[in-house]
Homo-oligomer: A and B are copies of this chain.
Amino acid sequence: MDIGIIGGSGYTGGELLRLLAGHPEANIVAVTSRSKKGQKVSDTHTHLRKIYELDFEDLSAEEVASLSDIVFTAVPHGTAMQVVPALIGSGVKVIDLSADYRLRTDVFEKTYKIKHTDPRKVVYGIPELHPDVAGQSFIANPGCYPTGASLAAAPLAKAGLIERAVFDSKSGISGAGAEPTEVSHYPNMAENIQAYKLTGHRHRAEIVQELTRLDGNISKISFTPHVIPSVRGILTTAHIFVKKDMGVEEVSSIYRNFYHDRPFIRLIKGIPVLGSVRGSNFCDIGFEIEKDSDRIVVVSAIDNLVKGASGQAIQNMNLMFGLPETTGLWMPATAP
């Protein structure tokens, strides 16, 4: 499989390269970066020294397409829609890691305040929720928060049980990208936790889209993100208010049935932690039912750069090519 990566200098680009280094079918043919053209990929991603002997190139979409069987676009939102049409037009398979194709066009335009120049119907690439990923030639790869939140709540949504859900998410700072900022400045981030976009984070639209697809009656979905002193990982604490009393076994069986054949979902008895998924494509899920209350607390843990981005993209790629979805991804977290 010849693979091109458009926009390879950021964290998701680096993570695609890290993971594809262990993929038995993957052959990287081009990694583009306008600003780093001509530089060694491993000067930016120093952990890839000796693993790749590639330089960043400044190629057009058509040039990358002509070399590749599949292209990953890891560019900012608003940019992807300028690149994707040419790629698709060239007949190459495409996975877009930006936000551009994740939402219905009208919702996208309202959420991102950008006119969409390439509206089209796309499958949203959480394979556990969208079995139709297999067979697609273009996939919109989901956001990191929506992956963790949707996987935590989907079984209860499917069962029509959710009255209201409050997703309180805690992310590692790598989600904010490779560029130094006030928030990512070590003295500001260490020993701290930064709540942000308390009510207006754009990823909420993806969560709403995924859960209402499963249950058209859910309307009360809240989401508040935080960054914590961690490089990788998203822990989502889903406070879910349900419509009927249930016991542990009943809820467990709803989750087990929903995810029974999904290799990357691990339903656990305790409470998930980032340490058990870091570097891996797993999503760990656990829950507890509050006594004398209508609340179930579901906790999910993912690595934001793997299951929340590049790993899930490769999982989608595997399915699009008819490979087992675990190909090249069946590795444990790096722990401790």
Contacts and interface: CB of A to CB of B under 8 A. Distances in A.
A50 interface: yes
A26 interface: no
A190 B291 contact: no
Contacts of A275: 46-47, 187-188, 191-192
B235 A193 contact: yes
Given A334-B18, A335-B14, A231 B198 contact: no
A181 interface: yes
A237 B195 contact: yes
Category for how many chain A residues contact B: 35 or more
A50 B263 contact: yes
A290 interface: yes
A101 interface: no
A168 interface: yes
Contact of A181 (B180, B192, B198, B263): B180
In the complex, which of the residues A51, A228, A289 has the most CB atoms of chain B within 10 Å of its own CB atom?
Answer: A228
Contacts of A199: 288-291, 293, 295, 297
B273 A49 contact: no
In the complex, which of the residues A199, A277, A331 has the most CB atoms of chain B within 10 Å of its own CB atom?
Answer: A199
A232 interface: yes
Contacts of A172: 191
A114 B314 CA distance: 52
In the complex, which of the residues A17, A200, A288 has the most CB atoms of chain B within 10 Å of its own CB atom?
Answer: A288
Contacts of A282: 49-50
Interface in A180-232: 180-182, 184-196, 198-200, 222, 224, 226, 228-232
The 5 residue pairs across chains A and B that have the minimum distance between CB atoms = A199-B290, A187-B336, A47-B333, A47-B335, A180-B180
Interface of A: 11, 14, 17-18, 21-22, 45-51, 166, 168, 170, 172-174, 178, 180-182, 184-196, 198-200, 222, 224, 226, 228-233, 235, 237, 239, 263, 266, 268, 271, 273-280, 282, 284, 287-291, 293, 295, 297, 299, 330-336
Given A191-B278, A198-B297, A224-B297, 15 more contacts: A22-B22, A51-B332, A166-B168, A166-B239, A168-B239, A173-B187, A190-B230, A191-B230, A191-B231, A195-B237, A196-B271, A199-B288, A222-B295, A224-B239, A226-B237
